[in-house]
Structure 1
Amino acid sequence: MTLLDTALWSGRISTGSWQPGHGGAYDVVAPATGEVLGSIGSADASDAYAASARAAEAQRGWAAKAPEERAAVLRRAGLLFEEHAEEIQGWIIREAGSIPPKAGLETHIAANECFDSSALPHLAQGEVLPSDEARWSFARRKPIGVVSVIAPFNFPLILAIRAVAPALATGNAVLLKPDPRTAVCAGVSIMRVFEEAGLPAGVLQLLPGGADVGSAVVDAPEVGMVAFTGSTGAGRKIGETCGRLLKRAHLELGGNNAMIVLPGVDVAKAASAAAFGSWMHQGQICMTTGRHIVHESVYDEYVAALVEKANALPVGDPASEQVALGPLIDDGQTRHCAEIVADARSAGATIAAGGTHEGRFFRPTVITDLDRDNRAWAEEIFGPVAPVMKFSTVDEAVELANDCDFGLSIGVLGNVSDAMVIADRLDSGKVHINEQTVSDESQAPFGGTKSSGNGTRIGGATTNLEAFTEIQWLTVRPEIADYPF
């Protein structure tokens, strides 16, 4: 039996055991071909509320386990991601439309997230505080309790496990709601890994489903925190609900990320970085390079190099061909990208490369001669579209980069000393000098500013410990104090 043998999970959800959900079941479909890959169970709100109550009960026993026991489960999970990497990657390729190197990156980082999280149980869980009273005073970290993790379709495994692993390591139970379009590679794979790693039943539960399930895993009374990665619109609604219910919300939302290309840059290398930043996974990444801000002295050469890249990159089914770009996730996203390109052209922009598609296979696209009001420049596209604009002065470049509702990731290519001065002026959760905008490591804090998030961070030992625990003040006296009453 393989890790992801369909006999185990076909038509089922996992709420302590694999069983049918009250939402029925739906087909798992390959976006590249329309092939039905399997059937997965769908939860409804009643399943989510019952799972939350069950998780709260299971969490108490999990949090009470010795740190070495929780650490051992996380280490075994990391090893299982490595052992079953090829099988999991096959699902990421087919179900998410990912090219093999991207699928390999996902399983690699998933393992690392588990290995890094396995250190969390043995980290210092608080500190001794000074006190003006005759007592000991402590600030100690305790698990939040039940954490809901809502993950998107684009980097499905990474964007789920980066919250699931540290939440479990710090003693929480987790309700996992993956995007329905990638519920196997971002849900079943994680569930099965932790089952085989020895995680007690009920501590992690898998709830594929629609908006009703998403609402339920946010407002369920036992849930103390929601870790959401997805669109800014959905994130605002979750944040509003969590604010009303006084729950913690970690929101990693959209991005319209800029890459500033300075004078004197190596144009060939800059264009290579730009191509990766804009077209990796068909541009369906929150960190995708969505705005190219290029100095006028290298603008023409840069555009020509980027167009050459676009025309040369193969597009097709990554499960059967060696390609650079696979399919967009569904027909709706394909229509959206096509509309953005058509509107850009109608507004006077030039489609210098691409702009066409066959089914869900969208050609890498370069757009020039646009202004700030053009939709292709102003909006997050979530497709393989690279809008390019020129600048004359550093002040203009900084102003263009910051003139955006989002603040997730910015790349600066060129002279390091100039780039460092510019970096200090950028409003962004991440800045990469001489790198493109798409970058993530398990040990690095990840998050954005403005409409890219609510200032929270996930990633790295200190950050994760803070993210998934609460502080409790504890005082101890050798005997009962004297009081005036």
Structure 2
Amino acid sequence: MEQYEKLNKSFLNGEWIEGESERTYNILNPYDNSVITSVRLATAKQLHQAFECAAEAQKEWAKSSVEERLEVLRKAAEYLKTNREAIIDVIVRETGGTVLKANVELHLTLEILEESLTYVDEIYKARQVPAAIEGKVNYIYRLPLGVVASISPFNFPMNLSMRTIAPAIALGNSVVHKPDIQVGLTGGSIIAKAFEYAGLPKGVLNVILTDITEIGDDMLTNPHARLISFTGSTAVGKHIGEIAGRQLQRAALELGGNSPFIVLSDADVDRAVEAAIFGKFIHQGQICMAINRMIVHQSKYDEFIQKFVEKAKSLPYGDPRDPKTVIGPLINERQMEKALKMIEEAKRDGVKIALEGKRIGNILTPYVFVDVDHSSKLAQTELFAPIATIIKAKTDEEAIEIANDTEYGLSSAVFTNDLEKGKRLALQIDSGMTHINDQTVNDAPNIPFGGNKASGLGRFGNPWVVEEFTVAKWISVQTKYREYPF
């Protein structure tokens, strides 16, 4: 069994390298603040070296065969499966996620790797399109983009890192990847170890363990970075988009959410409550597509609240290593303070509480606010905590209007017994994804995953990710002498 605590170094040009900063960072277990491992942070100079190595390695990797890329991706997946038990333990201890969450995360990570096997042959494949000029044959190719700069967050770090790394490698690119240092093992080192085991040529994947204090915007401004792939907050995403725009650089941005969960007048309340509990409280609500607002038709409103509160207050909380635990810790004190501040502000504003939670160590037990004004700060903020908000809608149509009244547009859900009506209304919701008779937290490697408005740019998932991570090339062949007008 691997001892992942020892993988507390950056993986640069195929070697595990100690950071050169004077600073070290302690990766903590969010449940009890115990130190999992200490990392000597990498410097901006080392980051620059990583990009140089990635640019050089990519030239050769772009020439690799379909079979070579298939073998690497298969063996990386094999490594994760073989070391499953140890990896689950690290995910739980480092992210504060429950055993269920850790299993879901590893499952999603493996799905991404397995889906990437299906499109390794997309580069250099010629597609013919008709030509208006006599004797001309048009070929369209997709070529590797180059070096991808990848930045992933703390909440589902392995899944959200692999979502960029696997397609990039499958399509002949190289990667410089910076996980959130709080989860450097799950979001970076374990993935690097898997690809090292798989025999990926050195320099194709570089994982740098560092923070913004050390490197500033250097992940974004490096001239070798052809694409910046970022998952995180909308504020940071806007900053990245601004820099990318100035540099005429591609950006794939999966940002914040304010996902509505809509219960229509004909919905099955019991089913809706079951779904809402999961979609709100999985990983303590620390998911960009977690339910942020429950919008319930007035005819179902009181019943929904009563049943939702009953279920929420019975959720087991505590040590996430206990398989029975549903509510584990928030990732850090800053996130806890943000959540508590939002609760206090809502109380001061007179928002009605149907369930008062409490702080127990680093755990926040569920809060449920009801009769929430959809224009209030509480309803318009991405909460990223086990805080539920329930809003009353007079009509089904008003429920859709309320759902769209946000700057975000990532995920959404509609509960109804009329599936045709559900699909019709789903198309009216301004979000990248809508789930009928399900909750908002859904992902798969073969769907267009991404958001509208302030929730981001671009789409992950096959085949959309192929377009994001390659460049189109038109080659025309004139097979017959062409007459020119002069």
CA drift at 1:364: 1.1
Q: How does 1:425-440 map to 2 (within 5 A)?
A: 425-440=428-443
Q: 2:450 aligns with which of 434, 447, 458?
A: 447
Gap change, CA 1:214 and 1:446, over 3 Å in 2: farther
CA drift at 1:482: 8.8
CA drift at 1:166: 0.5
* TM-score, L = length of structure 2: 0.95
Give the corresponding residue for 2:24.
Answer: 25
Aligned residues of 1:273 and 1:435 also touching (Cα < 8 A): yes
The aligned amino acid for 1:232 is T
Q: 1:382 aligns with which of 377, 381, 384?
A: 384
Aligned residues of 2:149 and 2:177 also touching (Cα < 8 A): yes
CA drift at 1:214: 6.0
Gap change, CA 1:20 and 1:481, over 3 Å in 2: farther
Give the corresponding residue for 1:127.
Answer: 127
CA drift at 1:481: 7.7
| Greater alpha carbon shift after TM alignment, 419-428 vs 236-245 | 419-428
Gap change, CA 1:467 and 1:319, over 3 Å in 2: same
Give the corresponding residue for 2:416.
Answer: 414
Cα deviation code 1:143-199 (max 9, x no counterpart)? 110001110000111111011100100000001110111110110110000000110
SS at match of 1:159: helix
Give the corresponding residue for 1:113.
Answer: 112
Task: Give the distance between the partners of 1:297 and 1:194, measured in 2 at CA.
Answer: 54
**2:140 pairs with 1:142:** no
SS at match of 2:252: strand
Give the corresponding residue for 2:76.
Answer: 77
SS at match of 2:375: coil
The aligned amino acid for 1:258 is P
Q: How does 1:176-195 map to 2 (within 5 A)?
A: 176-195=177-196
Give the corresponding residue for 2:313.
Answer: 311
Gap change, CA 1:15 and 1:40, over 3 Å in 2: farther
Task: Give the distance between the partners of 1:372 and 1:445, measured in 2 at CA.
Answer: 28
The aligned amino acid for 1:198 is G
SS at match of 1:386: strand
Gap change, CA 1:423 and 1:11, over 3 Å in 2: closer
Aligned residues of 2:279 and 2:291 also touching (Cα < 8 A): yes
Gap change, CA 1:88 and 1:480, over 3 Å in 2: farther
Cα deviation code 1:281-330 (max 9, x no counterpart)? 00000001000000111111100111111110111111246311110000
CA drift at 1:229: 0.3
Task: Give the distance between the partners of 2:36 and 2:430, measured in 1 at CA.
Answer: 43
Give the corresponding residue for 1:10.
Answer: 8
Task: Give the distance between the partners of 2:322 and 2:34, measured in 1 at CA.
Answer: 13
Task: Give the distance between the partners of 1:373 and 1:404, measured in 2 at CA.
Answer: 9
Task: Give the distance between the partners of 1:181 and 1:251, measured in 2 at CA.
Answer: 21
SS at match of 1:21: coil
Task: Give the distance between the partners of 1:106 and 1:357, measured in 2 at CA.
Answer: 26
Task: Give the distance between the partners of 2:192 and 2:436, measured in 1 at CA.
Answer: 37
CA drift at 1:409: 0.7
CA drift at 1:475: 2.6
List runs of 5+ in structure 2 lacking aligned partners: none
Task: Give the distance between the partners of 1:472 and 1:213, measured in 2 at CA.
Answer: 34
Task: Give the distance between the partners of 1:123 and 1:470, measured in 2 at CA.
Answer: 11
Aligned residues of 1:127 and 1:138 also touching (Cα < 8 A): yes
Give the corresponding residue for 1:282.
Answer: 284
SS at match of 1:258: strand
* TM-score, L = length of structure 1: 0.95
| Greater alpha carbon shift after TM alignment, 97-106 vs 75-84 | 75-84
Give the corresponding residue for 1:200.
Answer: 201
Task: Give the distance between the partners of 1:264 and 1:394, measured in 2 at CA.
Answer: 9
CA drift at 1:331: 0.4
Aligned residues of 2:329 and 2:362 also touching (Cα < 8 A): yes
Give the corresponding residue for 1:50.
Answer: 49
Task: Give the distance between the partners of 1:21 and 1:207, measured in 2 at CA.
Answer: 9
| Greater alpha carbon shift after TM alignment, 412-421 vs 189-198 | 412-421
SS at match of 1:136: strand
Task: Give the distance between the partners of 2:241 and 2:348, measured in 1 at CA.
Answer: 36
Gap change, CA 1:33 and 1:370, over 3 Å in 2: same
Gap change, CA 1:483 and 1:420, over 3 Å in 2: closer
Give the corresponding residue for 2:301.
Answer: 299
Gap change, CA 1:475 and 1:74, over 3 Å in 2: same
Give the corresponding residue for 1:265.
Answer: 267
The aligned amino acid for 1:234 is V
Gap change, CA 1:223 and 1:4, over 3 Å in 2: farther
Aligned residues of 2:410 and 2:450 also touching (Cα < 8 A): yes
Aligned length: 481
Percent identity, aligned pairs only, is 39
| Greater alpha carbon shift after TM alignment, 190-199 vs 38-47 | 38-47
Give the corresponding residue for 1:158.
Answer: 159
Give the corresponding residue for 2:65.
Answer: 66
SS at match of 2:31: coil
Task: Give the distance between the partners of 1:38 and 1:156, measured in 2 at CA.
Answer: 17
**2:369 pairs with 1:367:** yes
CA drift at 1:463: 1.0
CA drift at 1:354: 3.0
Task: Give the distance between the partners of 2:43 and 2:13, measured in 1 at CA.
Answer: 12
The aligned amino acid for 1:127 is R
Task: Give the distance between the partners of 2:401 and 2:427, measured in 1 at CA.
Answer: 13
| Greater alpha carbon shift after TM alignment, 168-177 vs 100-109 | 100-109
Gap change, CA 1:411 and 1:477, over 3 Å in 2: same
Cα deviation code 1:103-139 (max 9, x no counterpart)? 0111111112111102212247341133315443211
Give the corresponding residue for 1:104.
Answer: 103
| Greater alpha carbon shift after TM alignment, 56-65 vs 128-137 | 128-137
